[in-house]
Amino acid sequence: MPNNQTLEWNRLIFYHCGRFSRRRRIETHHHPGCELIYFINGECLNHLEGGQTLPGRPGSILIVPPEMPHSQENLRETETIFVTFSSGLESFEHPARIIDVEHDALTERWMNDICALNENVTPASGEMTRGILYALIARLIQIAAPPGGGDEIHPVLAKALMYMENHYERNINIDEVARQCAVSGGYLSTLFRKSLNLSPVQHLTRIRLNAAAQQLRNSYISVGEVAERCGYGDVNYFIRVFRNHFNCTPSEFRRIEQVRQKTGSYTEKLHYPVDEGRTDS
């Protein structure tokens, strides 16, 4: 796992969590955010986009990248805890993989704590949830780090990611990013596809929309101002892109967030079947 990026508190967005315990198959679906699935009991096969199949066994965590279609074939009664979120850290959210946490007591405890906080919501639940989630992600990065702290990310890709993070609010395009990295747009696209399984445009869109989701939590900023701050000069286009990604408009997301602060749930609007709400940029 690349380790040259830092998990930042102000970019962490918690979406949803829950418990699952049954024999039936979970049909193909996807989420706008990354999903952690912790396997407590049972055995299953997780079928992911591109023909990849990863086993789910007690003491392991499956990381499913944002927007990746996946299904779960339970071979027997299977019990899991799941959490969906956006970390803003591509090196953690990609690729899909299994992390062995069988001998780490903190992982199971923190997964359970996140669910418990959102089953019995208090005014402090939101920030407490983010605090535990932050610690959980940092812990998983530590567990999965290669011996000696090896750095696996391509230097051109690292530079491109950093440039996008620092300039997403401007009307930048992929040719500009490629020029800053002294490579062609085609070569940069190949790096993105190989390492992150998405295009540079898709990645830039995700950076902008995650920033928008953060800013929409501030009810004093209008949707038009959020759009402008996130690199969208056309507010109507911003609303369309946001709806395709989150399955709701920015105004609806703001209302959903207000409800979540009281109930602990974003509702099913942010979780939809694979054939709905998908965009390819």
User: What mean pLDDT, rounded, does the chain reach?
Assistant: 85
Q: What is the pLDDT of residues 40-71, one digit of tens each?
A: 999 999 999 888 999 999 999 999 998 899 99
Q: What is the pLDDT of residues 196-223, one digit of tens each?
A: 778 999 889 988 998 898 888 888 899 9
pTM of the prediction? 0.72
Percent of the chain with pLDDT over 70: 88
Q: Does residue 115 fall inside a structural domain?
A: yes
The whole domain housing 236 covers 155-263
**SS3 (DSSP) at 24:** coil
Bridging pattern class, strands 26-30 and 70-74: antiparallel
Bridging pattern class, strands 272-273 and 52-56: unpaired
Which pLDDT value is given to residue 22?
Answer: 84
Which pLDDT value is given to residue 16?
Answer: 87
Last residue of a domain, one of 132, 149, 166: 149
Identify whether the C-beta of residue 13 lies closer than 8 Å to the C-beta of residue 33.
Answer: yes
Average pLDDT on 164-171 reads 90
> Which helix or strand (DSSP H or E) is residue 148 part of?
none
Last residue of a domain, one of 149, 174, 194: 149
Does 128 lie in the same domain as 26?
yes
Tally of domains within the chain = 2
Does 56 lie in the same domain as 182?
no
Does 136 lie in the same domain as 208?
no
Which pLDDT value is given to residue 277?
Answer: 41
Does 196 lie in the same domain as 137?
no
**SS3 (DSSP) at 26:** strand
